[in-house]
C-alpha cells in the first residue's frame, strides 16, 4: 500500500525536483549567523516596542509559545547569503523531511520529523506546563483546496504516530464553547495555524480570535510571532545600522545584518518618480505578503501596477539575485534559480531546503523544479 507521501508525489509531481543542492558548511554557517543576529534583535525590548507600534492590536497578546516553522529565506549571491524575507507559517517543512528519505537520507529525515514533533510538544509545554497534549487541529481556510493540502495529511499521520490525535479543519469547523474550541464535539488543545489571515481579523476567524485572546487555546504560529518576525516592514529596520544602534543592537550584530540583508526601504508616493526611474533595482513587496503574492520585480512592472504599489504601503528591497543551478530535465540540462529556506525553531536551524524555479519568483510550475533537498558538504 502506498504511503501518504508516495500518494503526494504521484498526485503533485510539480512539487518535487529530482535535483539535489549541495552547500558548503561555511554558507550554512553564514546563514545561521544572520538568523542568530535577527533573534538577538527580536529579543530586545526596544524592538518589540518599535514593531508592535505598527502591528494590529492582537499582536500584543501575551504568549509563551515561540511559534513553529519560522522560515528564513535566502538567496545565495557572490557576496554571500542574503536574507530576502522571513515567514512565520512556512510550508513545506515536513514534505522536505520526507524528501530526505527519498534521496537516501532516511535516518536524517526521521530525526527531522522527530524534531518537529518535539517542537509542537515544546510549544504546548511553554503554555500549559505538564498537562497532556491530546488533540491538534491543523487549520486553514478551505484546507482541501490549498496547494500544500497533502502536507496537512502528512502532519496528521505524524502526530498520530506519536500518540497525538489530529484533525484538519477549516475555521468554520471550529465551534466556540466558552473559552475553548471544539471540533466534531471534541476539545482542541493546540492549533497548528496555517492561515494567512495573520491578525485573525476575518469574520470567519472571529471565534478563533476570541478564544486565542482569552488564552483558551494554544495557537502556533500566532499573531505576535508574525508581528515580531514576518511583517516585511521589519526588514527596513534590520538592514539599517542607525536604526539597529538606536534599538540597542551591538556592533557585531549590526554588521552581520547590514551585510546579510539587502537594502529595504518604504515606498512613498512623493518619491514615486525616483522609484519608477530606478525600478529595475528593486523588488516590491506588500507588508503582509506571503507566497510571492502581489510581489513584483521592478523590471517587469507596468505603470498601472506601479501606481497601485505607490499607494499600497509597499516596501522595496534591493534585488539580490538568486543562485542558479543546472538541473537535468529529460535529456537536457536546464538552469534553475534557487531560494534556500532555513526552517528554524528556538534559534536553531532544523532543516535547510531549496525551491528550484524559473521566472521572477518562486513557483511550482517549472518542469524539473520544485522542492529539492539540501546536503551540506
CA 177 vs CA 169, 199, 296: distances in Å: 17, 21, 43
Asked if residue 158 is part of any domain, the answer here is: no
Asked if residue 224 is part of any domain, the answer here is: no
User: What integer pLDDT is reported at residue 311 of this predicted model?
Assistant: 87
User: What integer pLDDT is reported at residue 29 of this predicted model?
Assistant: 97
Asked if residue 176 is part of any domain, the answer here is: no
Quote the domain boundaries for residue 268: 263-319
- Exposed/middle/buried for residue 283 (C-beta within 10 Å: 0-12, 13-18, 19+): buried
Asked if residue 290 is part of any domain, the answer here is: yes
Asked if residue 279 is part of any domain, the answer here is: yes
Q: Read off the C-alpha cell for 302.
A: 507596468
User: What integer pLDDT is reported at residue 292 of this predicted model?
Assistant: 52
Domain CATH number, residue 273: 3.30.1490.20
The answer to whether 229 touches 55, Cβ cutoff 8 Å, is no
User: What integer pLDDT is reported at residue 364 of this predicted model?
Assistant: 73
Asked if residue 169 is part of any domain, the answer here is: no
User: What integer pLDDT is reported at residue 6 of this predicted model?
Assistant: 80
Kindly write down the DSSP assignment for every residue of 263-289, as one continuous string.
Answer: -EEE--GGGHHHHHHTGGGEEEE-TT-
Asked if residue 302 is part of any domain, the answer here is: yes
Q: For the chain, what is the domain count?
A: 1
Asked if residue 308 is part of any domain, the answer here is: yes
User: What integer pLDDT is reported at residue 293 of this predicted model?
Assistant: 62
CA 285 vs CA 212, 256, 271: distances in Å: 29, 23, 16
User: What integer pLDDT is reported at residue 330 of this predicted model?
Assistant: 72
User: What integer pLDDT is reported at residue 46 of this predicted model?
Assistant: 98
Mean pLDDT per block of 10 residues along the chain (377 residues) reads: 76 84 96 98 97 96 97 96 95 94 92 98 98 98 92 96 98 96 98 96 96 98 97 96 98 98 94 92 81 76 91 92 84 86 97 89 76 90
pTM of the predicted protein model: 0.94
Amino acid at each position: 500500500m502506498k504511503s501518504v507521501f508516495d500518494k503526494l508525489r504521484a498526485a503533485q509531481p510539480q512539487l518535487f525536483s529530482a535535483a539535489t543542492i549541495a552547500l558548503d558548511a561555511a554558507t550554512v554557517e553564514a546563514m545561521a549567523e544572520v538568523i542568530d543576529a535577527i533573534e538577538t534583535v527580536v529579543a530586545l525590548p526596544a524592538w518589540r516596542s518599535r514593531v508592535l507600534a505598527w502591528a494590529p492590536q492582537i499582536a500584543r497578546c501575551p504568549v509563551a509559545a515561540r511559534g513553529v516553522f519560522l522560515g528564513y529565506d535566502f538567496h545565495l549571491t557572490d557576496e554571500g547569503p542574503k536574507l530576502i524575507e522571513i515567514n512565520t507559517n512556512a510550508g513545506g517543512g515536513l514534505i522536505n523531511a520526507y524528501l530526505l528519505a527519498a534521496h537516501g537520507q532516511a535516518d536524517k529525515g526521521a530525526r527531522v520529523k522527530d524534531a518537529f514533533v518535539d517542537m509542537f510538544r515544546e510549544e504546548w509545554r511553554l503554555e500549559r506546563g505538564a498537562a497532556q497534549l491530546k488533540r491538534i487541529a491543523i487549520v486553514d481556510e478551505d484546507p482541501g483546496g490549498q496547494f500544500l493540502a497533502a502536507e496537512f495529511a502528512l502532519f496528521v499521520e505524524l502526530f498520530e504516530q506519536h500518540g497525538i490525535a489530529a484533525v484538519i479543519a477549516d475555521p468554520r469547523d471550529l465551534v466556540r464553547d466558552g473559552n475553548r474550541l471544539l471540533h466534531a464535539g471534541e476539545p482542541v488543545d493546540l492549533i497548528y495555524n496555517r492561515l494567512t489571515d495573520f491578525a485573525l481579523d476575518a469574520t470567519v476567524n472571529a471565534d478563533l480570535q476570541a478564544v486565542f485572546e482569552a488564552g483558551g487555546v494554544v495557537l502556533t504560529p500566532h499573531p505576535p510571532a508574525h508581528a515580531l518576525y514576518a511583517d516585511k516592514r521589519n526588514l527596513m529596520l534590520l538592514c539599517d545600522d542607525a536604526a539597529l544602534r538606536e534599538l540597542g543592537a551591538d556592533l557585531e550584530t549590526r554588521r552581520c545584518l547590514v551585510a546579510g540583508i539587502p537594502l529595504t526601504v518604504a515606498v512613498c508616493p512623493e518619491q514615486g518618480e525616483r522609484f519608477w526611474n530606478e525600478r529595475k533595482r528593486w523588488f516590491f513587496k506588500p507588508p503582509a505578503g506571503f507566497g510571492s503574492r502581489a510581489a513584483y520585480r521592478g523590471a517587469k512592472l507596468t505603470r498601472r501596477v506601479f501606481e497601485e504599489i505607490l499607494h499600497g504601503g509597499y516596501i522595496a528591497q534591493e534585488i539580490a539575485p538568486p543562485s542558479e543551478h543546472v538541473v537535468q530535465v529529460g535529456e537536457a540540462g536546464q538552469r534553475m534559480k534557487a531560494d534556500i529556506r532555513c526552517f528554524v525553531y528556538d534559534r536553531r536551524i532544523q532543516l535547510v531546503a531549496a525551491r528550484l524555479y524559473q521566472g521572477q519568483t518562486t513557483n511550482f510550475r517549472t518542469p524539473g523544479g520544485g522542492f529539492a533537498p539540501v546536503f551540506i558538504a
